[in-house]
């Protein structure tokens, strides 16, 4: 059920974990020793019984923004999905009909200030995939409190 983690997250040491109900959905909030906070929804099967994916997507974003306001940091923007991983709502890369996995959970990652920024690598991947414009829009939408990311970009080879 909510025990599923993204493959990279499952390798990290968990420093704390809480479960909470927010806007009618169940969430798992995991703080990793690395300084990352990841918020997970319940499985797609469960949240679709309570409403549509748009509702849980928007609820997850509101919850994550509230946590980020309190804890600081910035959102990690995946080069394929954007800020909300596994979401079918606003992915950067259009997904086909065969990609709906009933046991998937949606998640968002908040990266603490002062640790290595994974978005630099994600920006490079998005550029190579032809998604750079959409990726930068997503980055600026979710990390508007930071300076324009384009100024931080690494030169591309």
Q: Sorting pLDDT into bands at 50, 70 and 90, what band is 144?
A: confident
- Give the model confidence (pLDDT) of 8-50 as tens digits: 445 679 999 999 999 999 999 999 999 999 999 999 889 989 9
Q: Find the farthest-apart pair of alpha carbons in the chain and give their distance in angstroms, rounded.
A: 47
- Give the model confidence (pLDDT) of 44-84 as tens digits: 889 989 988 899 999 999 999 999 999 999 999 999 889 99
Backbone angles phi, psi at 141, to 5 degrees: -65, -40
Do residues 113 and 73 touch, judged by C-beta distance below 8 A?
yes
Q: What is the pLDDT of residue 104?
A: 85
Q: What is the pTM of this model?
A: 0.82
Helix (H, G, I), strand (E, B) or coil at 56: helix
């Amino acid at each position: 059920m909510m025990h599923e983690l993204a493959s990279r997250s499952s390798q990290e040491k968990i420093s704390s974990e809480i479960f909470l109900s927010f806007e009618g959905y169940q969430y798992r909030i995991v703080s990793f020793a690395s300084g990352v906070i990841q918020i997970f929804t319940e499985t797609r099967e469960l949240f679709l019984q309570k409403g549509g994916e748009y509702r849980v997507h928007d609820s997850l974003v509101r919850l994550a923004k509230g946590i980020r306001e309190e804890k600081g940091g910035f959102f990690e923007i995946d080069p394929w999905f954007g800020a909300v991983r596994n979401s079918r709502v606003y992915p950067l890369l259009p997904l086909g009909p065969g990609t709906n996995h009933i046991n998937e959970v949606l998640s968002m990652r908040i990266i603490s200030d002062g640790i290595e920024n994974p978005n630099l690598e994600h920006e490079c991947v998005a550029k190579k995939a032809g998604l750079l414009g959409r990726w930068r829009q997503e980055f600026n939408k979710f990390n508007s409190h930071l300076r324009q990311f384009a100024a931080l970009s690494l030169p591309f080879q």
